[in-house]
Amino acid sequence: MIIEVTNLHKSFGENEVLTGIDCTVAESEVVCVIGPSGSGKSTLLRCLNRLEDITAGEVVVDGYHLTDRKIRIDDVRAEIGMVFQQFNLFPHKSVIENIMLAPMKVRGLSAHEARERGRVLLQKVGLQEKENAYPSSLSGGQQQRVAIARALAMEPKIMLFDEPTSALDPELVGEVLAVMKDLAREGMTMVVVTHEMGFAREVGDRVLFMDGGVIVEEGTPTQVFDHPRETRTRAFLEKVL
């Protein structure tokens, strides 16, 4: 297991938003996390690279115990790519510069090496001709594909996606999901918080349904979507499907 979460609790002040999460992710597995707004999906994802402090419990990622204060969290984060709903590209840098930055700073690549790697990745996400464009000249779907390429430039072992298509116009969702699907096919380990039930069904190896800070139900897409066991899962699916 490349990710192991045991009895994870997370509070913001008095408000306990994760109340005992247990889950694991195997190498090359694609786990989709679904559930209503406010159920703790983003918080769980952010605990996996300690963007949020862990209140109690254990999170082990690629052998690193995240609650161990002696680990260097930057070493862990270098193994984990994250893509957010908002693309967060650097507006004053070109597409290729956005992608080159972290590999040069964190991995010590030369500008030449970083540019070459960036070009390969731009090709992969179908944007090789946008190398010198600035983010503001791109569509949301193109910006999100650049954000994915930027994350991949660090050669992460794990990719975390937090509603990567939720800010996009409907006609741009497909191009981003297609890039994610390719990644899954190549064997990337992925945790994907999403409202795209079609994607979860088709690409997910496993689906976790969260509500009220717990994982209410998990299983294969067929189990969760076609044969939900829990009332709360059924109620949620009735609303979104």
Q: Which residues bind ligand ADP (CB under 6 A)?
A: 12, 15, 17, 35, 37-43
Nearer to ligand ADP, 12 or 90 (CB): 12
Q: Which residue is nearest to Mg ion (CB)?
A: 42
Residue 43 binds to Mg ion (criterion: CB under 5 A):
no
Contact 240, 200 (CB under 8 A): no
Least CB distance to Mg ion at residue 103 (A): 28
Q: Which among Mg ion, ligand ADP, none contacts residue 43 (Cβ within 5 to 8 A by kind)?
A: ligand ADP
Tell me which residues in 139-158 interact with Mg ion (CB under 5 A).
Answer: none
Nearer to Mg ion, 33 or 125 (CB): 33
Neighbours of 144 (CB within 10 A): 29
Q: Nearest approach, Cβ of 132 to ligand ADP (angstroms)?
A: 35
The residue type found at 14 is E
Q: 58 — alpha (psi -120 to 50), left (phi > 0) or beta?
A: beta
Among residues 53, 44, 46, 51, the alpha carbon closest in space to that of 19 is found at 44
- Which residue's CB is nearer to ligand ADP, number 38 or number 63? 38
Q: Is 39 in the site for Mg ion (CB under 5 A)?
A: no
Q: CB neighbours of 228 closer than 8 A, spacing ≥ 6? A: 209, 217, 234, 237
Q: Which does 37 bind (CB under 5 to 8 A by kind): Mg ion, ligand ADP, none?
A: ligand ADP
What residues contact 37, with CB distance under 8 A and at least 6 apart? none
Residue 3's beta-bridge partner residues?
A: 25, 61
- Using the rule CB under 5 A, is 42 a contact of Mg ion? yes
Residue of 140, 199, 159, 167 lying closest to 85 (CA atoms)? 167
Q: Which 54-93 residues touch Mg ion, going by CB under 5 A?
A: none
Smallest separation (angstroms) from Mg ion to the CB of 43: 8
Name the β-bridge partners of 218.
Answer: 208
Specify the DSSP class assigned to residue 93: S
Residue closer to ligand ADP by CB (options 42, 94) is: 42
**Of residues 128 and 166, the one with the C-beta less far from ligand ADP:** 166
Query: For residue 28, which of 183, 163, 198 has the smallest C-alpha distance?
Result: 183
Sign of torsion, CA 143 181 155 120? negative
Shortest distance in whole angstroms from residue 38 CB to Mg ion? 8
**Minimum CB distance to ligand ADP, residue 105 (Å):** 27
Residue (40 or 103) nearer to ligand ADP, CB: 40
Nearest-angstrom CA–CA distance, 88 and 147: 8
Q: How far is the CB of 187 from ligand ADP (least distance, A)?
A: 27
Contacts with Mg ion, residue ranges (CB under 5 A):
41-42
